[in-house]
Amino acid sequence: MGRAMLTPMAYDALYAGFRWEIPARLNMAAQVCDDWAGAEPERAAIRDLAYGVVSYGALRGMADVLARALVAQGVQRGDRVGVLRSQSAWTAAAHIAIWKLGAVSIPLFKLFGADALRIRLDDAGAKLVIGDGAPHDGLATWGGDVIVPEDLPPDDTPFDTAETGPEDPAVLIYTSGTTGAPKGALHGHRMLTGHLPGVEMSHDFLGAKGDCIWTPADWAWIGGLFDVAMPGLALGVPVVAARMDKFSAAECNRIIQDAGVRNVFFPPTALRMLKAEGAYVSGLRSVASGGEPLGAEMLAWGRAALGVTINEFYGQTECNMVASSCGALFDARPGCIGKPVPGFEIAVLGPDGVPLADGEGDVAIKRGAASMMLEYWNNPQATADKFRGDWMLTGDRGLWEGDYLRFMGREDDVITSAGYRIGPSEIEDCLLTHPAVATVGVVGKPDSLRTEIVKAYVVLKPDAAPSDALAAALTDYVKQRVAKHSYPREIAFIDALPMTVTGKVIRKELKVRAAAEVTG
């Protein structure tokens, strides 16, 4: 079923002996569903706490019904189709159905505002959207067709999965940047194969007897969809679908106990919230975390409260799961994000682009990694800028401590908040459309719970006056138009922004000011 699983052995031997096994014909629908459905149709695929246990055979039937509906709507190979749903068996079936056609799925977040959703759908040239029936302002203004799979009539007619290759486009995931509109990272069918070694490592060789995986992270993000849902299905590990409306330790414990969860991906903010609530969770075999570095205190708390050593991992939408800790192979080193995952060559580059053995530099990944994107969608200049020779630049700074990689921080101004990467320009562009706003600068402000919060420094137009009511109105304005997870939690009204001679906001100065508000 897909790529052979990693075998526990000494890390050095495992890394040195690994080779990517990528066949000429590859379709992720077969990896996560069809192959298992043919061999073990009754095997549990998804434990959906809203609908019950869904077998691989049933999941294939759901995907086939939806695939036929997509064909009836005119979807063809290469077309882009949005998936605007939270965790559920039908969400997995939606992606599988799209891949069965040789089409491209676009994961979309339910909390996106109208503008943010429409920007992504328009940029992708989406043919239609697979939704859950809930109204959304972005869908209404976009005006395209929406399919709700729960409304489709049952049909047992099998659907033949298209023959595709590893480089054929399969997934278009939008990622936030510091300038311009969000960029779409286009991935091929090898994407899932590329994720598997890192997922296995971060869960101390996921796939052991009794394993069952879940994450509170939404499946609209790469962390939920390709660090948990699809790898679990590919490895034959039951995947729990149980999205929480609001995170809480009690609800986490209920889901873990009710569904028999043994493996969890917790974003760092979720771990901090569990720690703040004094939570203890039993029955887990592995906990993985990624998106922001954890410190020694959090690792020690994890051993006491979760009963496991938390394995940190590292990657990004453009090339994910490239480094990881693995308690079954080597001891965690606080402040480091593990060692390179088998199949990935990581370098810390100096100013001349030459790999460094010592000292801080640019973290980069060698071309040829299976989880590396094909390109930025319709953006050849951004694609070219992402690479330096054979190396893909992550935009992060790091250094080596032996063969451990220490993360030092972002080069750019992307805000990391509660595990989400938030581009300041999208929020600035939104606020600039408000009639009271003249100019605005958005940065991340250090926060003990979320790592950073979004802070907006706003210069008002002459006819507008600062007030708490206006700050609340601006906050709501962003919530409704961009996303409910990336609105400014703080707004400061100032007389002028620090600017370059060309009129560009100097975010570095705003970040220093925001940090001083915390320490001062």
Q: pLDDT per residue over 239-295, tens digit each?
A: 999 988 888 899 999 999 999 999 999 988 788 889 888 899 999 999 999 877 777
Residues 465, 469, 475, 480, Cα dihedral to 10° = -110
Classify residue 485: in a domain, yes or no.
Answer: yes
pTM of the model: 0.86
> Three-state DSSP class for 209?
coil
Q: Total domain count for the chain?
A: 1
Q: Which of 244, 292, 290, 264 lies closest to 448, judged by CA?
A: 292
Give 83's strand partners: 107, 130
Rounded CA separation 394/440 (Å) = 27
How confident is the model over 287-322, as pLDDT tens digits? 999 877 777 888 989 999 999 999 999 999 999 999
Rounded CA separation 29/97 (Å) = 7
Classify residue 322: in a domain, yes or no.
Answer: no
Helices (H), 324-455: 380-385, 424-431
Rounded CA separation 446/442 (Å) = 13
The enclosing domain of 492 has a CATH number of 3.30.300.30
Q: Per-residue DSSP letters for 10-56?
A: -HHHHHHH------SS--HHIIIIIHHHHH-TTSEEEEETTTEEEEH
Amino acid at the residue 32: V
Rounded CA separation 198/14 (Å) = 12
- What is the helix (H) or strand (E) element at residue 516, kind and residue range? helix 507-519
> Three-state DSSP class for 69?
helix
Classify residue 477: in a domain, yes or no.
Answer: yes
| Residue 490 structural domain | 415-519
Classify residue 503: in a domain, yes or no.
Answer: yes
Amino acid at the residue 246: K
Classify residue 360: in a domain, yes or no.
Answer: no
Q: Check residue 1 and give its pLDDT.
A: 42
Classify residue 421: in a domain, yes or no.
Answer: yes
Classify residue 432: in a domain, yes or no.
Answer: yes
Q: Check residue 227 and give its pLDDT.
A: 97
Per-residue pLDDT of the chain (520 residues; tens, 9 = 90+): 445 577 778 899 999 999 999 999 999 999 999 999 999 999 999 999 999 999 999 999 999 999 999 999 999 999 999 999 999 999 999 999 999 999 999 999 998 999 999 999 999 999 999 999 999 999 999 989 999 999 999 989 999 999 999 999 999 999 865 456 789 999 999 999 999 999 999 999 999 999 999 999 999 999 999 999 999 999 999 999 998 888 889 999 999 999 999 999 998 878 888 988 889 999 999 999 987 777 788 898 999 999 999 999 999 999 999 999 999 999 998 878 999 999 999 999 999 999 999 988 999 999 999 999 999 999 999 999 999 999 999 988 889 999 999 887 777 777 888 878 787 877 887 898 899 998 899 999 999 899 899 999 999 999 999 999 999 999 999 999 988 888 999 999 999 888 755 456 788 889 999 999 987 6
Amino acid at the residue 271: L
Q: Which of 358, 354, 363 lies closest to 392, judged by CA?
A: 363
Q: Is residue 113 within 8 Å of residue 486, measured between CB atoms?
A: no
Classify residue 87: in a domain, yes or no.
Answer: no
